[in-house]
Amino acid sequence: MAGRTPKDVSPEGERRTPRSARGEANRRPPLPFVSVAVRIRPNLSQEPVALWAKSSASSQRVCCHRGFLLEEYEFSRVFGPEDDNQTLFDQLQGSTLTGSVFQGVNETLFAYGQTGSGKTHTIFGSRTEPGLLELFVRRFFAVAPPNAALFAGCYEVLGDSLTDLVDSRRFLSEGSLHHEDIVHDELFVKTQRCSYQIVRVRTAEMCLSLLNNARCNRTSGISSFNDDSSRSHAIVHLFVQNPSCDGASASIGTLTLVDLAGTEKEHENPSEKGRKSARLLNTSLSSLNRLLRKLQTGSLGESERRQSVLNKCLWEYLRPGCGIALVFCASPLLQHRTATLSTLAMATDSKLIHSQRKSQYINMPSRAQAPSPSPARATAPPAPVPSGGEGPRGPSAPPTPRGETPRRPVGMARLAGQESSRRERSSSLDGASDELLVENEKLRRKLDIARTRSRERLLQVERQRDQLASDHMALQRECESLRALFIRQQQQQLAFWTGPFMEVLRRDGPPGKVEAWDDAASQATEAPPSPPARCGAAGVQGAAPCLVTSSAPRPCAAQSPSSLQSQLEYWREMALDLQRKLQKPCISSKATPTPETAVSLASRRSESSSEGDCPAGNLAEDSETTVADGRELVSH
C-alpha cells in the first residue's frame, strides 16, 4: 500500500526573516515561523480511535492506524487532545506572528479540516476557552505602540455571496464608534458588488465584542458530524498601521484568520438545505485547494484569483510576500479515518509551501503638509465609493482617528500611499477586466450552446444521409431484380411464341383456342404475312414484344398449308437460335411438348398476367416457377 510516510521529509519550523524595505532584516534576529501544524481534537464520544499524537522533543508526529498498517506523519507542530488554544498560540509563535504584522507583513492563518474537527473552536474558541482570534487581539493591543492604529473586519463567504458579519449599529448608538471610523471595502463578485465594513477599533474589548457579535451572525446549520456546524467560510482581518519613529512612513500589516467550512460528503448531510450548502462549500474548497497546490509547486498564477469568491477574498493575503500558516484539524475517531487521511495528505503536501515574507510600507505626509486639525472633528470625510468597475479592495480613503491630525494614509496595507495608488489603479483595471470576464463568460456560454446545436444538427443530417443511402441501395436491388425478372419473362414469351408447341396447339388443340389466337394476332398487326426479320442477340430484349405485336407472322385461314409450314420452320429455327444464344443447353429442336404441358403453361401465364401489380418478391418467385415450367416444357 502506498501510504504517505513522510519520515524522510525534514521537519519544518523553518526560520524565515521578513525582508524590510530598508534592509532592517539583517539586523533583526531570525524569526521561527510554523507553516503546517496538525491538531487532533479530543474524543468526546469514547468511540474507537485511529489517530493519535506522538510528539517528543525531537519530532512531532501523528500516528494513523490503518488496520494492518501504522502510518506516521511528521509536521512542524502536532497538537493532541490535551493541548488548548493557548498552547497552540504559543507553539505557533503567536507573538512572533504579531511582531511580523507590526512590521508590515500580511500573515494568514487557516483552520482546515473535516466538519466537526474543531476549526471554529481553534479560531473563535468556546465559552470556556478563548480562541486564537482573542489571543491575537489581546496580543496586538498589548504590544501596539501608542501611535499605531488597528482596524478589524469580518465577513463570510458562501458560494458566490459575501456577507458582512460586522454589525456596527449597536456600537454607533452607544457612542463607542463613529461613522468616520468605518469604511467600506468593496469586492466585485461576479456581477454584483459586495462590501464589508472595516472598523477602527480602539480597545481590545471593543474589538472582541465586535468580532464575537460577528461570529454570532455567521450562518450555521447541521452537518453529518456537527449539530452546530458553520455553513460558510469566515474571514477575519486585523489591519495594523504602525508608523515609524520619524513619522515619515508606516508599515501596513494584516493578520487574516480563516475558519474554513468543514469538508463533508454532500450525501452524508442529513438535510436538503445542508446538502445544498455542502455542495457550494465543497466547490469553493476545491478551488482553494487548487490555489494551495499551486502555492506548493510555486506556480501560483493570477488566474487562480478568479476561480472562486473565496480565492478572490484571500488572494491579497496568500500571494508571494505573505506569511501562510495552516492548522489542519482532525478527528481521532475510527469512523472519520478516511476524511482524516485526506486531511493529513493535504497537510503533508502543504509543507512545501514556503513563505517569503515581505514588509509593506507607505509614505506618510509630513505634518507641515497635513491640514490643520479642525477643532470640531479633525477627521477625513468618509471614503467615497469609486465609480465604475471594481472598487479598491480597501476603502479608497482611510479612516482617520478622531481628534488626530488627519494623515494620509492611515490604516491598512491596501489603502494608502504609493501602495494604495498603485492598487487603486490595478483595482480599476481589475474592475474593467472583471466586466470583460463576465462578458466573455456570457459569450462563451452562447458559443457553447451554438456549438452543441450545430453538432446535433450535423448528427441528424448524417443519420438522414445514412437512411437515404440504405433506401437507395434497397431500391437499386429491387430494380435489378425487376429487370432480371422482366428479361426472363421476355425470354419465356419468346420461347413460347416461337416454340414448337404452337404447332401442336394449332394441330391438336381445340379449335376455339386457335381461332382466338388467330383473332388476337390479326388485331395485333395489319401487315401482310411475311417472314419477320431476324432479331440479333442484342435485340432479344426489345425484339420480344415486337414479335408478339407487330412482327409476328399473322396466321390466316387463307394461307396455304405450305406457307404455314414454312413459317413454322422459320419460328422453330428462331427458337433454336435463341436458345443457343441464351446458352440453354437443354433445348432440343426435336423436343416436342405435350399438349397438357402447353395448356398448363398458358393458364399459368394468364394467371401471372392478372397479378401484374404483385410485389417484387412474388414476381421473382413466379419468375422462378415459370422458368422452371419453361424448362420442363422445353426439355420434355
Annotated binding site: 113-120
Shortest Å, Cβ 229 to ligand ATP: 3
Shortest Å, Cβ 309 to ligand ATP: 18
Closer to ligand ATP at the Cβ: 31 or 261? 261
Indicate the annotated binding residues for ATP.
113-120
The DSSP code sequence of 75-128 is -SEEE-TT--HHHHHHHTTHHHHHHHHHTT-EEEEEEEEBTTSSHHHHHHB-SS
Residues 541, 578 contacting (CB under 8 angstroms) = no
Query: Would you tell me how many other CB atoms lie within 10 Å of the CB of residue 431?
Result: 20
Contacts of 231 (CB under 8 A, 6+ apart): 158, 219, 220, 221, 223, 261, 274, 277, 281
Closer to ligand ATP at the Cβ: 125 or 500? 125
Shortest Å, Cβ 9 to ligand ATP: 26
Shortest Å, Cβ 260 to ligand ATP: 8
Closer to ligand ATP at the Cβ: 20 or 350? 350
d(CA 258, CA 393): 18
| Strand ranges in 141-288 using DSSP code E only, listed in sequence order | 149-158, 161-164, 182-189, 192-201, 220-221, 229-230, 233-243, 249-259
Query: Would you tell me how many other CB atoms lie within 10 Å of the CB of residue 266?
Result: 15
**3-class SS of residue 254:** strand
Closer to ligand ATP at the Cβ: 121 or 337? 121
Residue 430 identity (one-letter amino acid): D
Closer to ligand ATP at the Cβ: 182 or 327? 327
Shortest Å, Cβ 258 to ligand ATP: 12
Q: Where are the alpha helices (DSSP H) in 499-589?
A: 501-508, 511-524, 540-549, 561-581
Residues 122, 348 contacting (CB under 8 angstroms) = no
Shortest Å, Cβ 242 to ligand ATP: 32
Could you list the residues that contact ligand ATP (CB under 6 A)? 41-42, 113, 115-121, 126, 223, 226, 229-230, 261-262, 329
Closer to ligand ATP at the Cβ: 266 or 435? 266
- The count of C-alpha atoms lying within 13 angstroms of the C-alpha of 73, restricted to the half-sphere facing its C-beta, is 32
Shortest Å, Cβ 296 to ligand ATP: 23
Closer to ligand ATP at the Cβ: 113 or 395? 113
CA end-to-end span of the chain: 89
Identify the bridge partners of residue 420 per DSSP, sorted by sequence position.
none
Burial of 127 (C-beta count, 10 Å sphere; 0-12/13-18/19+): exposed
